[in-house]
Structure 1
Amino acid sequence: MDDRPSLPPFVMLRAFEAYGRTGGIRKAAQSLGVTHTIISRHLRGLEEWLGTTLINRRSGTLTSRGQYYHREIAAAIGTLTRASTQLRAPAAGVLTISCATGFACNWLVYQLDAFRKICRGVDLVIRPDNVPSDFDRDDVHADIRYLRPSERLALPPHLRAVEIARPQVFPVTHAALAREINHRIRAPGDLLAEPLIEENDDHEWVTWFQAQSVSVSAINPCARLWHATLTLAAAKDAQGLAMTNIFLTGADLASGSLAQVHLPDAPWRSVTIGSYFIVAPVANWQSRTLNRFNSWLADATAAFKSSVVLTHID
């Protein structure tokens, strides 16, 4: 009878998971906060324990057995991490929120003083990040994201998303350029001849044009800048028009550094494409602190939307 343990030591499994995730011994060592010699020793030990080769030492890639084993080990460690994270009691009064950079920098940061006055005793930590949180690894309680309907539906079942705002989208640019465009356009389709800036795809522009009864399946942008912060910076520099919402541009519209583009005698049809959500593991929603933050944020976004009057430059 084989009296060996049925599982290899967990330190070996962690080293192998990190190696497969990061693609190298030194990166794996950095990920786990150990030396690369320790990672190497654990990898060799794991192969000896299993009696098979997991890593091609010439290329550094995983063998076919290594690829299979890594998928299984990564999934298992993810399950362990998620369960431990959900059960671990957070530090009293601390709430760590990851947030889409544009929303954090252009709107949320200006509301934090009001939050502190209403929710005294809560140590709110904001982490601007354009990558959605991996709750299995990131030490955050919740994530504020702008999600299209398809992205919302694609969330895994262990996450709960609560909508906090569904803003209209509209085209903006530098005030002087907006004035020129406003004087020469007569119909929504005329904007197709203007310089349009898009992020990583043309979905928002196409959806907006179709809502204005303009038949279009694609646009030919003057620039593709991948990020809302860059598209708005280019718009403020009069390089073209950007599609945006009030949470990204409220202050710029108020100061006059950006202006809406509009028809001479009629407003655009209202268009909403996505919503801002607070996304968190289901277990995290048991936190009274997170629910207080969610309630405050929903009220704050609603109040802001009702207070903003989108003006035209003629």
Structure 2
Amino acid sequence: MRKLPPLASLRAFEAVARTGSVTRAAEELARTHGAISRHLKLLADDVGAELFERDGTGLRMTPAAADFYAVTRSVFDQLERAYDNLGSRAAGPGVHVACSATFAMRWLVPQLAVFYRKHPDIRIRLSMTSAREIRNEGADVLVAWDMSSYSDADQRRALPLAPVNFAAVCVPACARLAAAKRTRIAHGYTSSAWDQWEAKTGKSVARGDVLEFPHTHLCIEAALSGLGVALVETRLIARELAEGTLVAPFGTVQFDGGLRALPAAGRRMNAQAQAFVAWLRDALTV
């Protein structure tokens, strides 16, 4: 018979250890402050040792609790991935793909009909998140170009798909303004894009005010509205460039890294996911 603490107490401990706050843990778990405190006391009484110490207005784990938390976090991560995978398998054959909302809406979804004609037995399930929030939790494959926040191990596992080419774009009237009068439209979570642009081109094409948005499609809409110059991967604005509603008078620049596919950690990529990645690589290079 296994000697394990109650799951509710483990969840409370993990949430407090991760957030450093009983209040934040209670909000996350939809429990009262008192209920979380009772779970912590239950664990402490059971093991005969304190788990947390006061640290200003927050809590700090004791060394023993920190060791236990490292194991608990790993087990919870594995359990979460396995449970999601169980649900995915129960839902039927398919590939769970995580990517940015803009990439999904402006490139991937319009291309899915081509994929389904080649692979009629595979269905794609999408998770669309912002660049900051995009994580490889449960998804079979994550697609992203900016992986600077990922671990070295994840970056080594990532599979190259295609180069990414960024253009500084605006409406034609904005292109005629002096650089000092042009507003820079920035993505709130991939701010390194403008740094890369200026480092590679040696040009600052928008030196006026800065407008920041949390999603690429909002940056595109802002540029279309004449608010300033946005830095966007050219695949995402192919229609606007072809129609002339947006122009790229400053050229394009190939960014480091390129678009990459990150397989889920801890399990081999199945044949369906491999087929999707192979198709994606071919489709992106057309």
In the alignment, is the contact (CA less than 8 A) between 1:95 and 1:122 conserved in 2? yes
Structure 2 regions of 5+ residues with no counterpart?
A: none
What do the CA deviations read for 1:222-271 (whole angstroms, capped 9, x no partner)? 21414323322221111111111112212322343322224xxxxx4744
Counterparts of 2:263 and 2:156 in 1: how far apart (Å)? 5
Shift of 1:50: 2.9
What is the letter of the counterpart of residue 258 of structure 1? L
What is the letter of the counterpart of residue 124 of structure 1? I
What is the letter of the counterpart of residue 71 of structure 2? A
In the alignment, is the contact (CA less than 8 A) between 1:15 and 1:28 conserved in 2? no
What do the CA deviations read for 1:125-173 (whole angstroms, capped 9, x no partner)? 11110135544xx33222111226x556x34359721121212111111
Structure 1 regions of 5+ residues with no counterpart?
A: 182-189, 263-267, 304-314
In the alignment, is the contact (CA less than 8 A) between 2:223 and 2:229 conserved in 1? yes
- Relative to the length of structure 2, the TM-score reads 0.77
Cα gap change, 1:280/1:196 in structure 2, threshold over 3 Å: closer, same or farther? Answer: same
Counterparts of 2:233 and 2:28 in 1: how far apart (Å)? 40
Q: Tell me the residue number matched to 1:301.
A: 284
What SS does structure 1 have at the residue aligned with 2:165? Answer: coil
Shift of 1:196: 2.5
- Relative to the length of structure 1, the TM-score reads 0.71
Counterparts of 1:94 and 1:40 in 2: how far apart (Å)? 42
Q: Tell me the residue number matched to 1:127.
A: 127
Cα gap change, 1:269/1:132 in structure 2, threshold over 3 Å: closer, same or farther? Answer: closer
What SS does structure 2 have at the residue aligned with 1:225? Answer: strand
Counterparts of 1:158 and 1:260 in 2: how far apart (Å)? 31
Q: Tell me the residue number matched to 2:75.
A: 80
Shift of 1:101: 1.9
Q: Which moved more, 1:68-77 or 1:169-178?
A: 68-77
In the alignment, is the contact (CA less than 8 A) between 2:179 and 2:207 conserved in 1? no
Cα gap change, 1:70/1:99 in structure 2, threshold over 3 Å: closer, same or farther? Answer: farther
What SS does structure 2 have at the residue aligned with 1:49? Answer: helix
Aligned residues: 274
In the alignment, is the contact (CA less than 8 A) between 2:95 and 2:124 conserved in 1? yes
What is the letter of the counterpart of residue 97 of structure 2? I
What SS does structure 2 have at the residue aligned with 1:238? Answer: coil
Q: Which moved more, 1:106-115 or 1:251-260?
A: 251-260
Q: Tell me the residue number matched to 1:16.
A: 13
Q: Is the aligned partner of 1:164 residue 2:151?
A: no
What is the letter of the counterpart of residue 72 of structure 2? I
Q: Tell me the residue number matched to 1:205.
A: 194
Cα gap change, 1:212/1:15 in structure 2, threshold over 3 Å: closer, same or farther? Answer: closer
In the alignment, is the contact (CA less than 8 A) between 1:171 and 1:260 conserved in 2? yes
Shift of 1:16: 0.7
Counterparts of 1:275 and 1:81 in 2: how far apart (Å)? 32
Cα gap change, 1:207/1:76 in structure 2, threshold over 3 Å: closer, same or farther? Answer: same
What is the letter of the counterpart of residue 222 of structure 1? D
In the alignment, is the contact (CA less than 8 A) between 1:17 and 1:73 conserved in 2? no
Q: Is the aligned partner of 1:286 residue 2:275?
A: no
What do the CA deviations read for 1:159-203 (whole angstroms, capped 9, x no partner)? 72112121211111123333x35xxxxxxxx64553322224764
Counterparts of 2:78 and 2:165 in 1: how far apart (Å)? 38
Counterparts of residues 105-254 of structure 1 (less than 5 Å): 105-130=105-130, 131-135=132-136, 138-147=137-146, 150-151=148-149, 154-156=151-153, 160-178=157-175, 180-181=176-177, 191=179, 194-200=182-188, 203-214=192-203, 220-227=207-214, 228-254=216-242
Aligned-pair identity (%): 22
Cα gap change, 1:70/1:231 in structure 2, threshold over 3 Å: closer, same or farther? Answer: farther
What SS does structure 2 have at the residue aligned with 1:147? Answer: coil
Q: Tell me the residue number matched to 1:27.
A: 27
Counterparts of 2:128 and 2:105 in 1: how far apart (Å)? 8
Counterparts of 1:239 and 1:143 in 2: how far apart (Å)? 32
Q: Tell me the residue number matched to 1:45.
A: 42
Counterparts of 1:204 and 1:12 in 2: how far apart (Å)? 43
* RMSD, matched Cα: 3.6
